[in-house]
Amino acid sequence: MKVKIASPHSENAEHIAQLVRATDPDLEVIAATAPVHGLAGVINGNRPGLLIIDAVDAQGLEAIGRITHANPDVETIVISSEQSPAFLMKAMQAGVREVLPPPLSPPALRAALQRVTRKRQPTAPAQLGEVYVVMACKGGSGSSFIAANLAHTLSTRDGRTVGLIDLDLQFGDVLLMLADQGATSDIAEVARNLERLDAELLRSAMVTVTPTLSVLAAPHELSHALEVKAAQVAAIVKQARQMFDFVVLDVGRSIDAVSLQALDLATLIFPVLQLTLPQLRDAKRLAGLFRSLDVPEDRVHWIVNRHHKGGDITLEALEKGLGIKNPTTVPNHFDAVAASINQGVPLAKLAAKSPVVRALRDLAKAVSPPLDDGRRESRWLSSLFGA
């Protein structure tokens, strides 16, 4: 791969070139003395696969954005003393692959070069991850809690990885149930940069909760939620399936183009309700929607949240009313669940012996049986439904 280094200072350009050559002697490295606004001359002619740009500030990102959009096949690494979240976000919008701080660290440079090289190398197609959609029959059903903690539980099994995507675009808060850290990016930002979507971009936009669980947050601003289109969601989920063993989508309770797209992508759909008359009524409406969309019955698995025996509405009444069998029940354990939500900690970490944790573990075992020789069990749906 050809690498060009651009710096306004010739000594810096040559120093960076030496570091790159020491990292990978097989790279063809060219150093150029040029300011950020003179990048067009560096790109023209013998085009590089990677451009490393030194001494970049916020104004320089505008010039870099023009270069990256005109040359989408050229990867870009920026060296900048500016490391604020706002700058990093603007760099991502400008098409920058990596932002490294000065003085340049050889290990950090090596890791960045490896990521770029790995991206450009052809790879064998991997098995695509399963897509699980969790949706609420009515507000207050606890579907986001179920989505977050099911994703966490799946991520603790056999080292398999989970990507949790918040598709409750206007009011999503699934990240808050797993971590006390904010997101520097979100799904709307990824959608705006869809032409550059790849594994590195998506991973950089997600919050890493654990080494096996990452979350793509809902938009920070309500107005941004309207910008996310169904086709963009399909592309993001497609990319996520190539990165994770499981992709969990929390779609809230809205029925719109985005949620319908999620249903179309789903391996399995988990509608969540509580045994109250208003929720049962909305569950019947949702069941009717599934039938009108010709969703196969074996793709829909109902979850009754906060279940307790002796209520006014029984499981038998639910099964008869919806025409379903064997819904999953998640028992009521209000104090532990409330503490988990308020502290932003997965319930399994806060109250490992909670009956809610046991129920979610049983569900995770049903949908993700132990790996057999590195492969998923092909008949997990049979295990789930007892077929």
3-state SS assignment for residue 224: helix
> Where are the domains positioned within the chain?
2-120, 130-385
Residue 120 is predicted with a pLDDT of 63
Question: For position 376, what pLDDT does the model report?
Answer: 45
What predicted TM-score, i.e. pTM, was given to this entire model? 0.69
- Describe the strand order of the beta sheet including 50-53 as a list of residue ranges: 28-33, 2-7, 50-53, 75-79, 98-100
pLDDT at 97: 86
Positions of the chain with pLDDT under 50: 122-125, 373-387
Pairwise CA distance, residues 26 & 21, whole Å: 8
Q: Per CATH, is 2-120 categorized as 3.40.50.2300?
A: yes
Position 164 scores a pLDDT of 98
pLDDT of amino acid 307: 93
Residue 29 is predicted with a pLDDT of 92
> Which pLDDT does position 381 carry in this prediction?
46
- Choose the CATH number for 130-385 among 3.40.50.300, 1.10.10.60, 3.30.450.40, 3.40.50.720: 3.40.50.300
Residue 92 vs residues 85, 96, 109, 199, 225: alpha-carbon distances, Å:
11, 5, 18, 14, 19
Per CATH, 2-120 and 130-385 having the same topology is answered yes
